Structure 1
Amino acid sequence: MHHVEIWVDDIAAAGREWDWLLRRLGYRLGDDWGHGRAWELGSLYIVVEAGPDVVPGRHERRRAGLNHLAFHAGSRDEVDAVVAECAAHGWSLLFADRHPYAGGPDHYAAYLESGEGFEVELVAG
Structure 2
Amino acid sequence: MIDHTGIQVSNIALSKVFYEAVLHCLGYKICLDFGHAVGFGTPISCDTENADGRDPGGDFWISVGTLHTPRTHIAFRAATHDEVNAFYQAALQHGATCNGAPGYRAQYHPNYYAAFVLDPDGYNIEAVCHKAPELTEKKRVP
Give TM class, smaller chain: 0.7 to 0.9
Assess, with a 3 A threshold, how the Cα gap between structure 1 residues 24 and 123 changes in structure 2: closer, same or farther. Answer: same
Q: Deviations over 1:65-94 (max 9, x none)?
A: xx3111111211221232233211122221
Assess, with a 3 A threshold, how the Cα gap between structure 1 residues 81 and 30 changes in structure 2: closer, same or farther. Answer: closer
3-state secondary structure, aligned to 2:27: coil
**What is the count of residue pairs matched by the alignment?**
114
3-state secondary structure, aligned to 2:59: strand
Does the aligned pair in 2 maintain the 1:58–1:117 contact within 8 Å? no
Give the counterpart of 1:46 among 43, 60, 63: 60
Higher mean displacement: 114-123 or 38-47? 38-47
Give the counterpart of 1:80 among 67, 81, 85: 85
| Bigger radius of gyration among the two | 2
The 1-side partners of 2:121 and 2:68 are apart by 5
- TM-score under structure 1 normalisation? 0.78
The 1-side partners of 2:90 and 2:13 are apart by 19
2:76 equivalent to 1:71: yes
RMSD across aligned positions (CA): 2.0
Does the aligned pair in 1 maintain the 2:84–2:115 contact within 8 Å? yes
Query: Could you list the runs of 4 or more consecutive aligned residues of structure 1 that deviate by over 3 angstroms after TM superposition?
Result: none
3-state secondary structure, aligned to 2:116: strand
Assess, with a 3 A threshold, how the Cα gap between structure 1 residues 103 and 114 changes in structure 2: closer, same or farther. Answer: farther
2:38 corresponds to: 37
Instruction: Give the aligned residue type for 2:104.
Output: Y
Q: Which runs of 5+ in 2 are unaligned?
A: 46-53, 132-142
- TM-score under structure 2 normalisation? 0.69
Deviation at 1:58, TM superposition (A): 4.2
Identity %: 27
Give the counterpart of 1:101 among 71, 92, 104: 104
Q: Which runs of 5+ in 1 are unaligned?
A: 62-66
1:28 corresponds to: 29
The 2-side partners of 1:59 and 1:31 are apart by 27
